[in-house]
Amino acid sequence: MNKTDVLIIGAGPTGLFCAHQLGIIGLSCEIVDNLDKAGGQCIELYPDKPIYDIPAVPECTGEELTNNLLKQIKPFNIKFHLNERVEELKKNQNRWHVKTSAGVEFDVAAIVIAGGVGSFEPRKFPVKECEKFEGNSLFYSIKDKSIFKDKTISIFGGGDSALDWAIELSNASKVNLIHRRDGFSGAEASVQKVKELNKQGKLNLYTKYQMDSVLGDKNIVSVKIKHDEGEIKEIKSDYVLGFFGLIMQLGPILDWGLNIDKKTVQVNTENFETNVSGIFAIGDICSYPGKLKLILSGFHEGALAARGCFKYAKPDEKLRFEFTTTSKAAQERLGIKK
């Protein structure tokens, strides 16, 4: 059981800055995120795209912003729990018991949901029968590539994941790469490599095709793919892989008794607390009159939510407002030596 003052759900910019604000006022926190790294949408959706509206930062990329925020919270030694999703939430007297998908448990005074538009999950095939093969002969990510040795693999997608795995697996497997158009979104060098392998007969490339259906009983035997013009081909496949990027799902948050409207959680604008005492929501996931889905708004919301957490974490103390420029306590917490 991890005991800390506040659990932050979501390691995007808003969650990271809220951790900073908690640190400044002397509260401890830990952060859970479903992705394998911090940064949220900034890292997952636009790591290289410039952002121009972070106050006092004329231009930075999503990755730079994330790295700077991580640097800013470094003095607080915050513990991250990545690749985990918060699953269960239980009130225990004045505290909350939280459990993640990896079975990690927390005992916290307050919870800050900074979950963006939800947790990132792989996008799936629209074809219904795919569900029954998922996890045995159909995958959206690869954990153990050795199972593909000497097998026939049909890979769907046109981004870097699809191209990289097609190239990699073509060494020891028979690979079909199926994509909906002639163009690819993946790196040009990988596209050239795939085309070369296709020419050499080391990989079969099918463009302007999409999945029509999967056939098989317990395991997949073949897939049918359909051309833009309607022609259908059946190709033998032991495994099917789909790489269509990630989509955000609200997930278990929906079951926590929060007021939810259009995939967002309603909060007050005084301290960004939800209808459930001790649970706060900040960033893209919260809604209130006038809400702007900007990173800068998330920073403001995080600063106020952090102060809102104080009375739950230290009910017998009073929080005094201080500036980091002059507060000895804040500077000590930041590890500043004079």
Interaction pattern, residues 253-272, with other proteins; x per rule: CB under 8 A: ----------x---------
Binding segment for other proteins (CB under 8 A), chosen from 9-17, 40-48, 76-84, 168-176, is 40-48
DSSP state of 223: E
The dihedral through the CA atoms of 159, 161, 167, 173 has a sign that is: negative
Asked if 2 touches other proteins (CB under 8 A), the answer is no
Q: How far is the CB of 6 from other proteins (least distance, A)?
A: 26
Angstrom distance (rounded) from CA 139 to CA 21: 40
Query: Is the Cβ of residue 131 or residue 317 nearer to other proteins in the bound state?
Result: 131
Task: Compute CA distances 25 → 222, 228, 298, 308, whole Å.
Answer: 59, 59, 18, 11
Contacts of 320 (CB under 8 A, 6+ apart): none
Query: In this structure, what are the phi and psi dihedrals at residue 323, rounded to the nearest 5 degrees?
Result: -100, 145
Asked if 45 touches other proteins (CB under 8 A), the answer is yes
Which one of 67, 72, 145, 159 is in contact with other proteins (CB under 8 A)? Answer: 159
Which one of 98, 179, 306, 309 is in contact with other proteins (CB under 8 A)? Answer: 179
Half-sphere exposure of 199 (CA within 13 A, CB side): 6
Q: What is the Cα Rg of the chain in Å?
A: 24
Which one of 244, 276, 297, 319 is in contact with other proteins (CB under 8 A)? Answer: 244
Asked if 46 touches other proteins (CB under 8 A), the answer is yes
Beta strand 86-92 pairing with 50-51: unpaired
Asked if 228 touches other proteins (CB under 8 A), the answer is yes
Query: Is the Cβ of residue 25 or residue 265 nearer to other proteins in the bound state?
Result: 265
Which one of 4, 34, 41, 100 is in contact with other proteins (CB under 8 A)? Answer: 41
Interaction pattern, residues 54-93, with other proteins; x per rule: CB under 8 A: ----------------------------------------
Closest CA to 248 of 60, 116, 148: 116
Interaction pattern, residues 94-113, with other proteins; x per rule: CB under 8 A: --------------------
Query: Is the Cβ of residue 123 or residue 224 nearer to other proteins in the bound state?
Result: 123
Asked if 117 touches other proteins (CB under 8 A), the answer is yes
Angstrom distance (rounded) from CA 296 to CA 212: 44
Angstrom distance (rounded) from CA 107 to CA 6: 9
Q: How far is the CB of 45 from other proteins (least distance, A)?
A: 4
Task: Compute CA distances 113 → 78, 116, 289, 293, 311, whole Å.
Answer: 16, 9, 19, 15, 17
Neighbouring-strand partners of residue 57: 54
Query: Is the Cβ of residue 159 or residue 251 nearer to other proteins in the bound state?
Result: 159
DSSP state of 71: H
Quickly list DSSP for 175-195. Answer: EEEEESSS--SS-HHHHHHHH
Q: How far is the CB of 259 from other proteins (least distance, A)?
A: 17
Asked if 181 touches other proteins (CB under 8 A), the answer is yes
Residues that bind other proteins (CB under 8 A): 41, 45-46, 49, 117-118, 123-124, 126, 157-159, 179-181, 183, 185, 210, 228, 244-245, 247-248, 263, 284, 293
